Amino acid sequence: MDIDGLGDKLVDQLVRLRRIKDAADIYLLSLEDLITLDKMAEKSANNILNAIKESKNTTLAKFIYSLGIRHVGEHVAMVLAEQFRRFDSLQKASREELLSIQEIGPEIADSILSYFSNEENISFINHLFEAGITIKEMPLEKAPLKEHPFSGKSFVLTGILSALTRSEAKKFIEEKKGKVSTSISTKTDYLVSGKSPGSKLAKAKDLGVTILSEEEFLRTLGER
DNA sequence: GGATCTGGGCAACGACAGCA
DNA sequence: TGCTGTCGTTGCCCAGATCC
């Protein structure tokens, strides 16, 4: 659910002290529950409570990703959200429906079916909704986007970006119908190179990939 | 000011999907 | 069936925020 400030050490403490039994209990935590933890004062506790509150209203893709279904990461979760639009539709999906989706093969389909056939998982999902999680509605039909230079192109990001974070850059590319990958291949169209680029820059040059500086990327992003 | 924790970033590796 | 490209996971490092 991408809650800022809630890392593994804190979760460890919360579980150890029996403040939470599963992830849904995080949404029932109070200031008193947090403030008594090690290395936790009022400021941090309030930051975490705000982050928890903000994460309650989430997107379908993020919610699917957060369930931790094997083989379903951020990308596959987005594919499933685009396809099914509603969480209950995904829950009821048949193997055939899942296999008919581009990028979903038998392993992933079986993993999803297995997850939703487990009663413990269903009870956990119900617990999350009872704790106040809401999923933002997805429009039935997406408004047609004007063709953008990034549309249909494959991107890889390297180095430190100064004007935006990687996740923001990724979000912007995806909004323009581009795709973000983690490794350079012959199918990569653009490498966006920030400060202190890694080995990807050399590989991109070898493969003749177009290299964009952060400034060029932002300028092109603003086009159309 | 040191200690601790988190988040961001990179790299490596295994697993998966798609294709010939 | 093997190959290629992509994705997910994990581990490591570093910088920044916060606590004590």
pLDDT tens column, A57-104: 787 877 887 777 777 777 777 778 777 888 888 888 887 778 777 667
The answer to whether residue A127 scores a pLDDT higher than 80 is yes
Distances (CA, A) of A79 to A65, A85, A158: 11, 10, 24
Residue A196, helix vs strand vs coil = coil
Q: CA A132, A138, A144: angle at the middle one, nearest 5?
A: 160
Token pair listed for A223: 């086009």
CA of A199 to C1' of B7 (A): 22
pTM across the whole model: 0.70
The closest of A128, A17, A55, A137 to A89, measured between CA atoms, is: A137
Taking only the tens place, the pLDDT of each residue in A164-214 is 666 667 767 766 767 776 666 666 677 777 665 656 666 666 666 777 777
Cα separation of A2 and A10, whole Å?
14
Taking only the tens place, the pLDDT of each residue in A93-125 is 887 778 777 667 777 777 788 788 888 888 888
Give the domains, in start order, of chain A with CATH numbers.
8-55 (1.10.150.20), 60-135 (1.10.150.20), 154-221 (3.40.50.10190)
- Shortest-distance nucleotide from A40 CA to C1': C19
Whether A53 contacts A158, CB under 8 Å: no
- The reply to whether A104 Cβ lies less than 7 angstroms from strand B is yes
CA of A180 to C1' of B19 (A): 21
Confidence at A142, pLDDT banded by 50, 70, 90: very low
Backbone phi, psi, residue A62, to 5°: -65, -40
